[in-house]
Amino acid sequence: MTEQKGKKNNFRGMIYRVVQLVNSKNRSKLHKKDQTWLKQNFYKNVGWDNVIKLYQKIEEFIGNYYLEELTLEELFIEADRIGNKYLTNQEINDYSQSLYKEVNGVAEEIDKQFPETEVEFIDFNKNINTKYKNKPNQKTYKTVKI
């Protein structure tokens, strides 16, 4: 009996009581619907196995919240990072080169379809006729389109 009291179980370096406290704090960070789901599915903060299961489920919910908050661009970057873990450096370089060629091709096609023909010059002469009085230290200019 005394041997059992001396030996303390731990989960990820935390004793039972600390895991319970972490669960309580993190559970309050969850959305109400997720808190209700945990209660309906009998996730409890009592009993060593139950505490560990609750900890893992709360961690899963919080991980999902991280993905929900990402923008579309960040999601693509994250997916690319995960996908690159399974590729060799040569495959990554080949893909980057082909992507570069495609992007440049698209940019050239856009320039062909929408050429910028207007040129704008800015005249900073001080001899501009204005109907209103200029304030001191105010710069005026006019633009001329060709």
- Span 75-112, pLDDT tens digits: 888 888 888 888 888 998 998 899 999 999 999 998 88
pLDDT of residue 144: 64
Question: What's the pLDDT tens digit per position in 3-19?
Answer: 455 457 788 888 999 99
For 51-72, what is each residue's pLDDT tens digit?
999 999 999 998 888 777 778 8
Distance in angstroms (rounded) separating the CA atoms of residues 60 and 30: 11
In 83-114, which positions are buried (b, 16+ CB within 10 angstroms) versus exposed (e)?
eeeeeeeeeeeeeeeeeeeeeeeeeeeeeeee
Beta-sheet strands, E only, within the chain: 120-123, 142-145
Distance CA 47, CA 67 (A): 31
Residue-level length of the chain: 146
43 vs 119, residue with greater confidence: 43
Instruction: Please report, as a single letter, which amino acid is at residue 126.
Output: K
The residue assigned the tokens 């910028």 is: 116
Instruction: Output DSSP code: residue 122.
Output: E
What tokens were used for 132?
């209103």
Global pTM? 0.47
100: left (phi over 0), alpha (psi -120 to 50) or beta: alpha
Residue 116 is predicted with a pLDDT of: 74
> Is the Cβ–Cβ distance between 27 and 38 less than 8 Å?
yes
User: CA 108, CA 94: separation in Å to the nearest integer?
Assistant: 21
